[in-house]
C-alpha cells in the first residue's frame, strides 16, 4: 500500500513532517510505502540532514505549496502542483491508497469532496476526533468536529451511522452506543436541531441509539459515539484541547489528561468520501505526523472505506424500497 | 433591602439552603433581611438545629414545593404556595428586592418571565456565568448559558449589550471587550448564526466589539464578554464544570482551576427581566447558597436592573427614531 504525506503541510513543515515520516518507517509495514509529496530538493535536503537514504520513501515532486491561510478552492485551482492537489489527484486515480496532510484544512476538505466525491448515499462528509474515557483505556468518537457546522437532521443521522462504523472498526467497540450531545439528558431536550434529530436517531435501524448525553458525561464512558453538528463538535474539541494545554503548561501528568493529547491519534479522518483521508492538526509535531501515518495505515488495513461503501449501499437501497 | 431565598430549592435543600443563609448573615449588611420562603416548620427546625434565632430572618410560610423534575409552567400554576411561585409574586409586588433559588431552573425562568416580564425593549432574557481568566484574578462573562438555545441574531446582539453592562457593573470592566464565540477568529467564520450575528455586533453602538474568538481563548483574557447562544453556552459551561470536577477528584489545586468552582459566584443571574433574580446550581452547597445571596445583594446595590432599564429605554427610542 502507498500512503501519501503532504510534506509542506503544517506550521512546522517540512521539518516536522519529514521527521514524523522517518519515525513511522519502522511501523509502516513491509511492502508498504510512504509517498512524500512536496518539492524534491526540500525533501532530499531534510532526509540527508537526518542521515536517511531517500530510497526508503517514494518522492512525488510537487514544487507548489498551499499556505495555511489561503482560500481553499482558489488555492487548489491555482496550485495543481501542490502536495494537497496532487495527493487527491493520485488518490482518486489509485496511485495512492490513502492521503494525509496537516496543512490547510479547508483545502483538504475541498480536495476530498471534489476529487474523491462522497460515497454514494452520503450527503455530507464529516471529521471525527477520539476522546479518552475515564476508567480503562477506551476512546469514544466525537463527530462532526468541524466539517459541517449547520448539519441538517438527516446529515446528523448519517454522522451517527458513520461514527458507529468508525467506533467498530478503529476503536474496537462492538455494537457501539450512540448518544446525541445535548444540554440535558431527558428526551425532547435541546435546541431545535436536537429536538428534530432525536426521533430520527431513535428510528434509525443502523445504530444502537441510547439517548441524549451532556458534556459532563464526555469522559464518563456514557457513549462510544457522540453525535453533534460541526459547530458544537468543534467547540467541544477545542475546549478539550484547551484543558490539555493548561495541564501541559502546569506539568500535570495524568492517565486521562495525557490521552487528550492530539498527537496520540495524530489527526482527524475525513469520513464519508471514497478513500481514506486524514487531516492533521496545524501544529502537528513529528510524533503527531508519525501517528497520523499509522492511523492512515490502520484505516486502510481495516477496510473502513469499503465498509462504509457497503453500509451506504444498503442504506440507499432501503430508502429506495 | 429584602432578599428572598427559596428554602426548598436544590438537591441538598433544606439543609444546604438554611446553612448557606445562616453563613451569609454576617455579610448581608445592616438593615438588609434575608426572607426564607418555605414550610415554616421545616425552616424553624433547621434553624433550631443550628442554634440560630429565627428572628434573624424573615420567614414567609410556603408549604408547597416544586420538585427539580416537574414541568415548569404546570408546577407554577398548581403550586402557588411554593417558594418559587411566592418569591416571584412578592418580587413583582415589591415585597422583595431580589429573589434566588437553586431549585427547578425551568420554573425559575418561567416565573421570571411571567411575573416580572422582560425589561421594555428586551426580546428574551438570558443567564450568564463568570469564567476565570489566566493571569491575574479577572473574570469574564459568558452568555447566554442556557436560557435561549436558538437565539435569533437580534437576540444575540442584546446578549452582548446586557453582558457588557454586567461586566461593567459586577466585574468592574470599564469599556468591556465583547467577542463572539466561534470556531475560528477570522471575520465571516462559523455557522450561519455566527455569520449573521457578526456584522450586527460590529454595527452595534452600545458595545465594544472586538471580533470572533475560539474556545481555546476562553481563559486567555481575550474578551470580557463572550457571546454565544444558549445551547453552545451551556455546552461550554458544562465542559468547564467537568474539568473542575476532574481536578477536584484528583485533588489538584491551582489558582485558575480553583476559580472555576461555581460555588464562588453561587449562581447565574437571569438578566433582562424587571428585578434581580439568581438561579443557583442544582447541587448547590451551603457555600454556593451564601455566595448566591451575596451576589444578589451586589446586584441590588449596584443597580444593575435600573441600568439595564435605562440602557434599553435609549435602545428602544433609538430604534423608533
Which residue is listed with cell 402557588?
B80
Identify which of B157, B222, B192, B197 has the alpha carbon closest to the alpha carbon of residue A230. B192
Is B111 contained in some domain?
yes
Contacts of B227 in chain A (CB under 8 A): none
Residue A321 has pLDDT above 80, yes or no: no
Q: What is the pLDDT of residue A320?
A: 66
Position B136 pLDDT exceeds 90 = no
Question: Is the predicted pLDDT of residue A319 greater than 70, yes or no?
Answer: no
For residue B91, tell me if it sits in a domain: yes
* Spatial contact of A102 and A292, defined as CB atoms under 8 Å apart: yes
Claim to verify: residue B147 and residue B118 sit in the same structural domain: no
- Find the radius of gyration of the CA atoms of chain B: 19
With CB atoms and an 8 Å threshold, state whether B238 touches A250.
no
Task: Write the pLDDT tens digit of every residue in B47-94.
Answer: 999 999 999 999 999 999 999 989 999 999 999 999 999 999 999 999
> When comparing pLDDT for B315 and B154, which is higher?
B154
State the SS3 of chain A. Answer: CEEEEECCCCCCCCHHHHHHHHHHHHHCCCCCEEEEEECHHHHHHHHHHCCCCHHHCEEEECCECCCCCCCHHHHHHHCCCEHHHHHHHHHHHCCCCEEEECCCHHHHHHHHHHHHCECCCCCCCEEEEEEECCCCCCEEEEECCCCCCCCCHHHHHHHHHHHHHHHHHCCCCCCCEEEEECCCCCCCCCCHHHHHHHHHHHHCCCCEEEEEECHHHCCCCCCCEEECCHHHHHHHHHHHHHHHHHHHHCCCCCHHHHCCCHHHCCCEEEECECCCEEECCCCCCHHHHHHHHHHHHHHHHHCHHHHHHHHHHHHHHHHHC
CB atoms within 10 A of CB A34: 23
Which residues of chain B lie closer than 8 angstroms to A215, CB-CB?
235, 238-239, 242
Q: Is A282 on the interface with B (CB under 8 A)?
A: no
- Looking up cell 462504509 gives A308
pLDDT tens, residue by residue, A266-304: 899 999 999 999 999 988 999 999 999 999 999 999 999
Phi, psi (deg, nearest 5) at residue A22: -60, -45
Out of B211, B231, B262, a domain closes at B262
Q: Is the pLDDT score of B314 beyond 90?
A: no
Residues A112 and A130 reside in one and the same domain: no
Share of chain B above pLDDT 70, in %: 99
pLDDT for B315: 74
Instruction: Find, in chain B, the residue whose alpha carbon is nearest to that of A186.
Output: B69
Q: CB A183 to CB B149 under 8 A? A: yes
Q: Which of B78, B60, B69, B2 is nearest to B34 (CA)?
A: B2
Mean pLDDT of A239-255: 92
In a domain, A267, yes or no: no
Cell numbers standing for residue A192: 431545535
Residue B321 has pLDDT above 70, yes or no: no
Residues of A in contact with B257 (CB under 8 A): 246
Contacting residues of A for B142, CB less than 8 Å apart: none
CB B179 within 8 A of CB B223: yes
Residues B218 and B132 in one domain: yes
**Under a CB-based contact definition with an 8 Å cutoff, are residues B292 and B266 in contact?**
yes
A106 lies in a domain? yes
Contact A100, A10 (CB under 8 A): no
Please check whether residues B96 and B133 belong to one and the same domain. Answer: no
Contact B171, B130 (CB under 8 A): yes
Q: Which of residues 201-230 of A touch B (CB under 8 A)?
A: 214-216, 218-219, 229-230
B136 and B171 Cβ atoms separated by less than 8 Å: no
Give the pLDDT confidence of A163-195 residue by residue, as tens digits: 999 999 999 999 999 999 999 998 888 999 999
The whole-model pTM stands at 0.94
Residue A316 above 80 pLDDT? no
Contact: B238, A149; criterion CB under 8 Å? no
Spatial neighbors of A155 by CB under 8 A, at least 6 apart, are A123, A124, A148
Backbone angles phi, psi at B7, to 5 degrees: -65, -35
Q: For B164-186, what is the mean pLDDT? A: 95
Q: What is the CATH number of the domain that holds A62?
A: 3.40.718.10
The domain total for chain A is: 2
Domain shared by B39 and B101, yes or no: yes
Average pLDDT, chain A: 95
* Residue A232 forms part of a structural domain: yes
Closest-CA residue of A relative to B181 is A235
Nearest-by-Cβ selection for B216 from A183, A216, A241: A241
Q: What is the pLDDT of residues B202-235, one digit of tens each?
A: 999 999 999 999 999 999 999 999 999 999 999 9
| Same domain? A41 vs A104 | yes
pLDDT grade, residue B320 (50/70/90)? low
Chain B within 8 Å of A250 (Cβ-Cβ)? yes
Asked whether residue B42 falls in the same domain as residue B116, the answer is yes
**In A, which residues are within 8 Å of B216 by CB distance?**
238-239, 241-242, 245
The residue-averaged pLDDT of A131-144 equals 94
Q: Measured between CB atoms, does B67 come within 8 Å of chain A? A: no
Contacts of A254 in chain B (CB under 8 A): 250
**A245 at B interface, C-beta within 8 A:** yes
Contact list in A for residue B190 (CB cut-off 8 A) is 149, 231
List, for residues A43-94, the tens digit of each pLDDT value.
999 999 999 999 999 999 999 999 998 999 999 999 999 999 999 999 999 9
B199 in any annotated domain? yes
Residue A43: domain span: 1-122+272-304+311-321
The confidence score (pLDDT) of residue B204 equals: 96
Beta pairing partners, A34: A3
- B144 and B206 together in one domain: yes
B309 belongs to a structural domain: no
**Is B134 found in the same domain as B249?**
yes
| Residue among B249, B286, B248 nearest B266 (CA) | B286
Give the distance from residue A316's alpha carbon to the nearest chain B alpha carbon, in angstroms: 28
Distance from CA of A190 to the nearest CA of B (A): 7
Answer whether residue B19 is part of any domain.
yes
How is residue B230 written as a grid cell?
Answer: 444558549
Contacts A–B by Cβ distance under 8 A: 85
Is the separation of the CB atoms in A269 and A276 below 8 Å? yes
Give buried/exposed letters for A118-137 (b at 16+ CB in 10 A, else e): bbebbebbbbbbbbbbeeee
Task: Calculate mean pLDDT across residues A311-318.
Answer: 82
pLDDT band at A13 (very low <50, low <70, confident <90, very high): very high
Please tell me whether residues A80 and A207 are part of one structural domain: no
Task: Mark whether B179 and B242 lie in a shared domain.
Answer: yes
Residues B49 and B109 in one domain: yes
Share the mean pLDDT of chain B: 95
Amino acid at each position: 500500500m502507498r500512503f501519501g504525506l503532504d510534506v509542506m503541510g503544517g506550521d512546522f513543515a517540512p521539518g516536522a513532517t519529514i521527521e514524523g515520516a522517518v519515525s513511522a518507517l519502522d511501523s509502516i509495514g513491509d511492502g508498504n510505502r510512504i509517498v512524500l509529496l512536496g518539492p524534491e530538493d526540500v525533501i532530499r535536503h531534510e532526509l540527508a540532514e537526518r542521515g536517511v537514504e531517500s530510497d526508503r520513501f517514494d518522492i512525488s515532486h510537487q514544487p507548489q505549496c498551499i499556505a495555511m491561510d489561503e482560500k481553499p478552492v482558489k488555492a487548489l485551482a491555482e496550485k495543481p502542483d501542490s502536495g494537497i492537489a496532487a495527493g487527491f489527484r493520485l488518490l482518486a486515480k489509485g496511485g495512492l491508497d490513502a492521503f494525509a496532510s496537516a496543512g490547510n484544512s479547508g483545502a483538504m476538505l475541498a480536495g476530498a469532496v471534489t476529487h474523491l466525491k462522497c460515497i454514494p448515499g452520503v450527503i455530507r462528509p464529516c471529521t471525527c476526533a477520539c476522546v479518552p474515557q475515564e476508567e480503562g483505556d477506551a476512546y469514544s468518537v466525537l463527530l462532526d468536529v468541524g466539517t459541517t457546522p449547520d448539519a441538517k437532521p438527516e446529515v446528523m443521522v448519517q454522522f451517527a451511522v458513520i461514527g458507529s462504523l468508525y467506533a467498530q472498526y478503529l476503536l474496537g467497540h462492538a455494537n457501539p452506543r450512540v448518544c446525541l450531545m445535548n444540554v440535558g439528558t431527558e428526551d425532547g431536550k435541546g435546541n431545535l436541531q436536537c429536538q428534530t434529530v432525536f426521533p430520527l436517531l431513535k428510528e434509525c435501524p443502523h445504530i444502537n441509539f441510547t439517548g441524549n448525553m451532556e458534556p459532563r458525561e464526555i469522559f464518563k464512558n456514557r457513549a462510544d459515539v457522540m453525535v453533534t453538528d460541526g459547530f458544537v463538535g468543534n467547540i467541544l474539541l477545542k475546549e478539550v484541547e484547551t484543558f490539555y494545554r493548561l495541564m501541559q503548561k502546569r506539568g500535570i501528568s495524568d492517565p486521562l489528561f495525557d490521552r487528550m493529547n492530539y498527537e496520540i491519534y495524530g489527526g482527524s479522518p475525513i469520513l464519508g468520501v471514497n478513500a481514506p483521508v486524514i487531516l492533521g492538526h496545524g501544529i502537528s509535531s513529528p510524533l503527531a505526523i508519525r501517528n497520523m501515518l499509522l492511523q492512515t495505515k490502520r484505516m486502510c488495513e481495516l477496510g473502513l472505506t469499503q465498509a462504509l461503501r457497503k453500509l451506504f449501499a444498503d442504506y440507499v437501497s432501503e430508502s429506495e424500497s
